[in-house]
Structure 1
């Protein structure tokens, strides 16, 4: 019971801190505790004393009862351009941040990735903390040498992979490309073939988002060949990473107008997924569930909505390790129903996505496009429901 209560209090502290757009260091300092103690409170590992709880409430400008109430809390509004600007400054401007222990830094990056892949409010939770984490990581890389420096570069590669996906989702493709490049350079300095393949996987994501499908496919297949040469067929993490690269190559083929090659890439990935199971190598969430979801994406993107929806009916999307993939799967189905002009089902899937991850519906252009489609083409009740959804997620009507 105490553990559950501690997690509830921690969730609320983190919610109100991120809603106020304050870093852990600032809030901890004003509260009179260490950043590590605040970190443990937010993760539900420590239950704050009453004096600390009262001081946290004062710093966050809320009532102490707000941190204890069992009532649901509303999602904060969309992150503004200020979030992207703060990340940009952290990536480009000199910093006064001090280095951290590499093991502690690695734990923080893993926690940040976990938040990104599991929290429905991941945008507001991460965009506040990322600038500080970037600055600390850069200082740690500069302040270490030898084996420890390679370990720090590995952590930096993981962090910049996260920065890539976050900045992409908040509409900063320029920062997404910069982060992907940083991840690749860090992986090279770490002399880690697996992380280098993961960094290239991130770069391919940027290329796909930027409309360079053929270049993305070429890069995916080149990265796949080099990874297999470096680590061999018996390295299970390399097998999973190979499968993740094949899935991106499949999507790239479809977007380049070659659906049959896309399906062939998917077939090549299937036995790899069966071999490794659902796993999360380099945070790619590769495995049988992800392959099945990509099969739906490929059919819907090819205009084969009936086949895509048939495949989707047999998938338990909750088994995916990543909320991002789960939401993408729901949006793929919504797109399939929109292609069939079945807008009631489209709206129902959008509403499910909003329930699971409200901020994703606020940020994803694919969700915005589907909402507008239902508003314009749906029946009166469907259009009205889409308008209500648009208002809830902050999309101009």
Structure 2
């Protein structure tokens, strides 16, 4: 039987597509596609296989191959029996403890003792240190990498929506943390794995209060691209987001603010202002009184070309911003 990665490469070359283009069409990372082709990853989940199949015009060949691989894997995993559930619980407990150690103050014994998935999800939603001290970002990155390794070692075939959502959110948190030290390889690794979790979940949900899903992963790609100074990539990812599927106006506004910032970084002031106005119409509270959005308003107003300067300054003045 032809390995999945070799089949993917053959079909991609037949279609005359680059790895980057296949990744874009399938809404996954370039490194993820490359790892599949070179056998550095196990076969993808069925939703990802379907996306890749469509991307290269395989006519169902990759889907069929992924199904065979999955059946073989399930047979091997069945030998483990009930151990999968034990490993799943161990993953949640160990990851929760590691994340608490990285994020909360060391003296918070009651929090660190928690091993339930609810405790981990709570930290993913609201991770401010209880002591008011700074977050230990390197430790958080290390904890996420260890959690990723432990999760993949579980090898269970049907993770719950809650498990996928918590795992995906953990990876996204790790990717954000990694941007502070510019660890591009780590960022790509975490984002690609989060995209895989989002594809397996298959929808925008709010399991364990995480608001995790495929579009949420894309929103993080947009934000991280901006943090890394790559406005072009941010805009490309933003165009892939199905914004109507984002469940909260706050999240939609955040995406639009990031997109406006990306256009400003490219000197496209008119588009930046147009998108900023859309945020003001959708959720004005996401601009007023918030430092980062107000700084964006000020930056657009201060650097706008003469043809747009008056409009930009009038809009800035409506929020009490002096350019």
Shorter chain as denominator, the TM-score bin is 0.5 to 0.7
- 1:333-352: CA deviation from partner (whole Å, max 9, x where unpaired): 11111111111111111111
Q: Specify the alignment match of 1:273 in structure 2.
A: 198
Take 2:151 and 2:128, find their aligned partners in 1: how far apart are those partners? Answer: 18
Q: Specify the alignment match of 1:75 in structure 2.
A: none
Take 1:287 and 1:327, find their aligned partners in 2: how far apart are those partners? Answer: 17
For 1:133-148, list aligned pairs within 5 A: none
Q: Specify the alignment match of 1:307 in structure 2.
A: 233
Take 2:135 and 2:307, find their aligned partners in 1: how far apart are those partners? Answer: 35
* Of 286, 290, 293, the match for 1:367: 293
List gaps (5 residues or longer) in structure 1: 1-176
Q: CA deviation at 1:302?
A: 1.3
Q: Specify the alignment match of 2:138 in structure 1.
A: 214
Take 2:110 and 2:283, find their aligned partners in 1: how far apart are those partners? Answer: 31
Q: Is the 8 A contact 2:301 2:316 kept in 1?
A: no
Q: CA deviation at 1:226?
A: 8.1
Q: Specify the alignment match of 1:391 in structure 2.
A: 317
Q: CA deviation at 1:262?
A: 0.7
- 1:208-234: CA deviation from partner (whole Å, max 9, x where unpaired): x9675434434545666788999x773
Q: Specify the alignment match of 2:189 in structure 1.
A: 264
Structure 1 residues 251 and 386, CA gap change in structure 2 (3 angstroms): same
Q: Specify the alignment match of 1:194 in structure 2.
A: 117
Take 1:211 and 1:340, find their aligned partners in 2: how far apart are those partners? Answer: 32
Q: CA RMSD in A?
A: 3.4
Take 2:261 and 2:129, find their aligned partners in 1: how far apart are those partners? Answer: 22
Q: Specify the alignment match of 2:270 in structure 1.
A: 344
More helix by share: 1
Q: Helix, strand or coil for the counterpart of 2:205?
A: coil
Q: Is the 8 A contact 2:298 2:321 kept in 1?
A: no
Q: Is the 8 A contact 1:374 1:386 kept in 2?
A: yes
Q: Helix, strand or coil for the counterpart of 1:363?
A: coil
Q: CA deviation at 1:292?
A: 1.4
Take 1:219 and 1:385, find their aligned partners in 2: how far apart are those partners? Answer: 48
Take 2:249 and 2:318, find their aligned partners in 1: how far apart are those partners? Answer: 20
Q: Is the 8 A contact 1:247 1:265 kept in 2?
A: yes
Aligned length: 215
Q: Specify the alignment match of 1:116 in structure 2.
A: none
TM-score where L is the length of structure 1: 0.47
Q: Helix, strand or coil for the counterpart of 2:287?
A: helix
Take 1:377 and 1:237, find their aligned partners in 2: how far apart are those partners? Answer: 45
Q: Is the 8 A contact 1:247 1:291 kept in 2?
A: yes
Take 1:194 and 1:186, find their aligned partners in 2: how far apart are those partners? Answer: 15
- 1:141-184: CA deviation from partner (whole Å, max 9, x where unpaired): xxxxxxxxxxxxxxxxxxxxxxxxxxxxxxxxxxxx9xx88xx9
Structure 1 residues 246 and 373, CA gap change in structure 2 (3 angstroms): same
Q: CA deviation at 1:325?
A: 2.0
